[in-house]
Amino acid sequence: MRLTILGGGGFRVPLVYSALLGDHAEGRVTHVTLFDLDQGRLSAIARVLAEQSEGVPDAPVVSVTTDLDEAVRGADFVFSAIRVGGLAGRAADERIALAEGVLGQETVGAGGLAYGLRTLPVVTHIARRIAALAPDAWVINFTNPAGMVTEAMGRVLGDRVIGICDSPVGLGRRVARVLGANPREVWIDYVGLNHLGWLRGLKVGRRDLLPRLFEDDTLLGSFEEGKLFGTEWLRSLGAIPNEYLHYYYFNREAVRAYREAERTRGAYLLDQQAGFYEEMEKPDTPPLTTWRRTLADREATYMAHNREAAGVGERAEEDLESGGYEQVALSLMRAIARNERATLILNVRNRQVLSVLDADAVIEVPCFVDAAGAHPVSVDPLPYHAVGLVTSVKAVEREVLAAAESGSRATAVKAFALHPLVDSVAVARRLVEDYTAEHAGLSYLR
Ligand code: G6P
Ligand code: MN
């Protein structure tokens, strides 16, 4: 089995490789091809993987390339984890929105739209190369904004592209932990769009444990989302929102904290990551220790501005562990390649799951996965307040998809203007102006 990782010089690749190293079963991944535009980043990550594989006799063989066609040809699975425009692009997405007084964030609000507009033409090109050179390959998309990107690639590759995110898994695990349930044995009722979903139930067998959480204020306030949103608001909602909904429910506070911060998250990571890759160029740098130290720092500072806005201090030790997207990716691959049935929260076409969206809208929902792919499970309808957000944001995503396809600037402006976190058409116009002036990758807009 051959796995190709697009964005193979990326910082989180060792997480994926370490998950692969733990798989010794028949039909496991035996070859990993890392594709990246940047040879230096590839070499750095290859050094980390080499150390990880020491003493593992059946470790997947790693090769690196800067040629997309070579990377994709003959692949069984393709992970797409690219960052168009790099962290400098992310920092600019964030800064430009914040300068207009609206949220500047990697995937949510104006910043996410700019990122989407830059990314969609690139991932569409990649999808076409995969369709031509590895038509039977399954594509697992981590590239953000993951919902939009999965929908765009799906227009070329159909249901062979499946989007993943670690945030619903992380949320499910935190809730399971406080309820004393085994995260691997629970059924999580979660639905929405990527970074815009709600956990409405957590079942062991037929029993829903979530009501117990709502009965106990101490438990409810004891984990990340409880602290971020406050128990009173969680009670009002009767559900646990994805942490990214903090940007909606506490928008003013989040925007203020982001504007007052010395640097945006993107700018912070730009420096941190530059330091990491630079260090990795020195021959005596210990690859794995250096990578682990950098990862720990990245996780400890994750969403720090939101926590600051909520006045809740540092992330608790037990909430630090990421959702483990690499385990989701591995389970997904195994389920498809070996028909090992699994239930995973994934980004797939809606079909008939949410009646307020059309069949082709990509949503985030629990799916049964087998050799035939991911099949979304039917869930209870969303309450109106969630329907409102999900349908407005999907409408915006559709305008971004249309703008990326047609190159229409007016359509891009429409996307920004319709976003619930952009409060004026005039602001939307200025944002498109400023983003196109900043990003060469948006020069296709006319
Ligand atoms: C979570 C989200 C990803 C997002 C990342 C940002 O893992 O699921 O979609 O890219 O956080 O984390 P960062 O450390 O880059 O701010
Ligand atoms: Mn995500």
Burial of 179 (0-12, 13-18, 19+ CB in 10 A): middle
Q: What is the mean pLDDT of residues 237-262?
A: 97
- According to DSSP, the β-strands at 77-80 and 2-6 are parallel
Distance in angstroms (rounded) separating the CA atoms of residues 115 and 121: 11
| pTM beyond 0.80 | yes
Nearest ligand to the CA of 322 is 1
- Atom 16 in ligand 1: residue holding the nearest Cα: 302
Ligand 1 atom with the shortest distance to the CA of 165: 8
Between the CA of 195 and the centroid of ligand 2 the distance, in Å, is: 6
Choose which residue among 105, 107, 143 to substitute to test ligand 1 binding: the one with the highest number of ligand atoms within 8 A of its C-beta.
107
Domain boundary assignment for the chain: 2-163
Give the containing element (helix H, strand E) for 203: strand 196-204
Residue 317: predicted pLDDT: 80
The closest of 335, 295, 399 to 48, measured between CA atoms, is 295
Alpha helices (runs of H) in 179-264, residue ranges in sequence order: 210-215, 217-220, 224-229, 231-237, 246-249, 251-260
Catalytic residue among 115, 244, 258, 435: 244
* ipTM above threshold 0.95: yes
Task: Kindly tell me if the per-residue pLDDT of 321 is higher than 80.
Answer: no
The closest of 88, 89, 140 to 116, measured between CA atoms, is 89
Q: Which residues line ligand 1 (CB under 6 A)?
A: 106, 144, 165-167, 265, 269, 298, 302
**DSSP letters of 40-108?**
HHHHHHHHHHHHHHTT-TTPPEEEEES-HHHHHTT-SEEEE---TTHHHHHHHHHHHHHHTTS---SSS
Tell me the binding residues: 90, 144, 165, 195
CB 442 within 8 A of CB 140: no
Choose which residue among 80, 93, 106 to substitute to test ligand 1 binding: the one with the highest number of ligand atoms within 8 A of its C-beta.
106
Between the CA of 25 and the centroid of ligand 1 the distance, in Å, is: 30
| Alpha carbon distances (Å) from 271 to 90, 262, 265, 317 | 12, 13, 10, 25
The reply to whether 249 belongs to the active site is no
Choose which residue among 302, 315, 346 to substitute to test ligand 1 binding: the one with the highest number of ligand atoms within 8 A of its C-beta.
302
Residue 316: predicted pLDDT: 83
The reply to whether 38 belongs to the active site is no
Nearest ligand to the CA of 193 is 2
For 357-390, write each residue's pLDDT tens digit.
999 999 999 999 999 999 999 999 999 999 999 9
Q: What is the mean pLDDT of residues 169-182?
A: 95
What is the pLDDT confidence band of residue 157, given thresholds at 50, 70 and 90? very high
For 265-314, write each residue's pLDDT tens digit.
999 999 999 999 999 999 999 999 999 999 999 999 999 999 999 999 88
CB 193 within 8 A of CB 393: yes
| Alpha carbon distances (Å) from 26 to 183, 229, 330 | 26, 45, 14
Distance in angstroms (rounded) separating the CA atoms of residues 84 and 402: 19
Ligand 1 atom with the shortest distance to the CA of 303: 16
The structural architecture, per CATH, of the domain 2-163 is 3-Layer(aba) Sandwich (3.40)
Between the CA of 57 and the centroid of ligand 1 the distance, in Å, is: 32
Distance in angstroms (rounded) separating the CA atoms of residues 319 and 326: 17
Ligand 1 atom with the shortest distance to the CA of 144: 9
Between the CA of 143 and the centroid of ligand 2 the distance, in Å, is: 9
Catalytic residue among 36, 166, 189, 319: 166
